[in-house]
Structure 1
């Protein structure tokens, strides 16, 4: 190939190489090409704008929803089993009654999102922003909330068997009347004014005295062996 032909092809070759390098970055989600498609199992809405929609009962099992913006969207009753919602935005969204077993909610932003009565056994909410989220009545067996921000989250009557709150912020969260049989992990969780009234925590793992002293229990609260009921609970007068 002569020098003139090489110079003519160089810009096209350079662009192709640049695109290949960008798309080959490890961990980078695939470029979404289905933002305008209707909900369906396994679709790719990664990085799409899906704000302010009313799409209850949507079939999104196994879908790629990485970094999708669902702000104020109604996904109540949606099928999100095994879907990837990592880094999705779910601020004030509605996922009440959703089916989300084994879904990936890691690093989502979900302030005031409702997961009430959702089924999310085996899902992960690791490092998620879940302040004031509503998990009341949700099925959360084996769920990971490790390093999650759960300030003022509501877990009333949620099933938390095997749930992991390691390093989570549970400040002012409501765990009263939560249901669990077997272990539940609180290793290094921040439990400032966490509501644990009436809870049987005898099977809890990683719970330490300083956490108990910060939390809000009552005479019906049961603690693991070796831990003592505080002389007075911080929330006794509330």
Structure 2
């Protein structure tokens, strides 16, 4: 009897295992589970990964260009120097990813979540990011050349030296408490932007064509010298 109770007690203390473990050897397919798997430095462009579970997956230096990542969960995934160029990732979860120098050029990530992501020097050229959330993201030197940023939230994000100057948007951007040291906003119409304060504008790089919300004014230091913008 005591032995039986001991077995029951040991079972109760044993860690619970997920009902289904990740299948790291599976071929890319919608809804698969590659959580915590290593898919590092491989070529898998055009993969069908819609709704896939990619939590903490290592995709460093991997080619995922033109892949379908709609509604995929990539929270805490490693995407350092990975290519997601041309991928479809609407409503995907990129929160807390590590994606230094990653290529998101031409990605469609409307409604995607990039909160708390590490995106320093990431390339978002021509990306469609309507409604995306970059709250608390690290975006130092990120490039948004010709990206569509309608309704994007940059609350508490680090936009130090990021380039928004050639971005387009048809609705307000949210900048409350964003760090905008030398953020390039030349030529942008930010008159409807939300959360912008004079202290942020004083740090940023605008020009005579930058339109600001009512009550804010261009600092005497605009435009920034070329060496400040490019270094």
- TM bin, normalised by shorter chain, reads over 0.9
Question: For residue 121 of structure 1, what is the aligned residue in structure 2?
Answer: 110
**Segments of 4+ moved more than 6 angstroms:** none
Structure 1 residues 181, 86: CA separation in 2 closer, same or farther (over 3 Å shift)? same
Unaligned runs of 5+ in 1: 24-28
CA distance in 2, matches of 1:208, 1:201: 12
* Distance change (3 Å), C-alpha of 1:112 and 1:32: farther
Counterparts of 2:95 and 2:223 in 1: how far apart (Å)?
32
CA shift, 1:34, in A, is 1.0
- Which residue of 183, 189, 192 maps to 1:200? 189
Give 2:85's aligned residue: 96
Contact 1:32/1:47 (8 A) holds in 2: no
**1:225 counterpart residue number:** 214
Write out per-residue CA displacement over residues 57-88 of structure 1, whole angstroms, 9 at most, x where no aligned residue.
00000000001110110000000000000000
C-alpha RMSD over aligned residues: 1.6
Q: 2:123 aligns with which of 111, 119, 134?
A: 134
Higher mean C-alpha displacement, 219-228 vs 142-151: 219-228
Inter-CA distance 212–59: structure 2 relative to 1 (3 Å threshold):
same
Aligned with 1:167 (options 153, 156, 159): 156
Mapped contact 1:109–1:130 kept (Cα < 8 A): yes
**Residues 169 and 217 from structure 1, CA distance in 2 versus in 1: closer, same or farther, beyond 3 angstroms?**
same
Deviation at 1:216, TM superposition (A): 0.6
The residue aligned with 2:53 is 64
Matching residue within 46, 63, 84 for 1:74: 63
2:77 is paired with a residue of what secondary structure?
coil
Match of 2:6 in 1: 10
* Residue 7 (structure 1) shift: 1.6
Q: 2: CA distance between counterparts of 1:85 and 1:234?
A: 39
CA drift of 1:175 comes to 0.5
Equivalent residue, structure 2, for 1:26: none
**5+ residue gaps, structure 2:** none
SS of the aligned residue for 2:40 comes to coil
Q: Which residue of 1 aligns with 2:203?
A: 214
Which structure 2 residues correspond to residues 140-179 of structure 1 after superposition, within 5 A? 140-179=129-168
The verdict on how the C-alpha distance between 1:66 and 1:90 changes in structure 2, with shifts beyond 3 A counting, is: same
Report the CA distance shift for 1:221/1:89 in structure 2 as closer, same or farther (over 3 A).
same
Number of residue pairs matched?
227
When Rg is computed on C-alpha atoms for both structures, the one with the higher figure is 1
TM-score (norm 1): 0.91
